[in-house]
Structure 1
Amino acid sequence: MNKNEKLKAIRDYVSGIFEDDATGHDFFHMQRVAEAAGKIAEKEGANLFISKAAAWVHDIGDTKLSDDPDEDKRELQTFFLSISCTAEEIALITEAARDVSFSKGKVPQSLEGKVVQDADRLDALGAVGIARTFAYGGAKGQLIWHDQNKEGTSIQHFYDKLLKLKGLLNTASAAEIAEERHLFLEQFLSQFFEEWQSQT
């Protein structure tokens, strides 16, 4: 397989895993992250194939999404071999995807990893990021907000994570995109609390 064929196979593999996800980590999230990673990689001089492949698979084996993360990762390695990925490609893709998650609190070592992390974080900002926040909260039984018990609510997630992302990006390309999306988060929260307080 050439690289484009491998990316299509990876896309189809990911679709089979995440097509029914209702937490905001669905196939379309993976697709947006892969497309954003491709654009950032081109601007930043990163390896395009490794960046896009890692972006497609970055949530496979995530503990918040999987009942058996280790098995999911083993199956992914087997899949890579089945589409004729080289040992070097598998190692680079795995490395680039490994430390993307915000919850790990790490900065990836490779440029491709930094690109994927930025692409993933951009998808947590703006209108889509807001929609994903409430999708995840609803799927996990979280309250939207609570005046006395804020922890674990969807709105609190903005302060715990989303509003921090703009300052944690690795590349200038992503930082430029983040500005408008971050502003939208702030505008949303301002409107949210204005409406919330008018009902209490």
Structure 2
Amino acid sequence: MTKFLLIRHCSAEGQEPEAALTEAGLEQAQQLADFLETYSIDRIISSPFTRTIQTITPFALKNNLHIEIDERLMERVLSSENLPDWYDKLQQTFKDKDVKFTGGESSNEAAHRILSLVHELNNKESETIALVTHGNLSSLLLNSFSPSFGFEQWKQLTNPDVYMIETDSNETQYNRIWR
């Protein structure tokens, strides 16, 4: 059975791909590295965004693990335009998973993207894989396993946050393990 640790990045300076972690975020990354020590992680796969790589680097260095980059873990683009009412628009995408805004992805498109990676990695070997990504994309993945994980649960995510996802041929279960 494959286990995934779905990790949302630590506190960052912004939303753009090159946004770095804040000073608090760098401290969180050290705490996260200590927290993850209790799990036997075999692989790390991260979004290419700076904040996700910085989030997992302390753990990777401490455990001599390579950070693989996969663009399917990039944050979901809500729109290529500045949306002053982005919060309302995001909420709308949890209700209508096919709605999309200029230059953006629908919830279904983004969920399909991350699910393709999970299905590709899910194998019969016993392996634990850390997937380092972003809040909205994490929510969409968890929503695909349980429709009850929606906008309200997205609002409750923390930076960082960690969910354990266990899959086998019959079912997928997840639970929040971050303290």
Same fold (TM over 0.5): no
Which of the pair has the greater relative contact order for Cα pairs under 8 Å at 6+ separation?
Answer: 2
| Higher CA-based Rg | 1
Q: Which has the higher helix share?
A: 1
Q: Which has the higher strand share?
A: 2
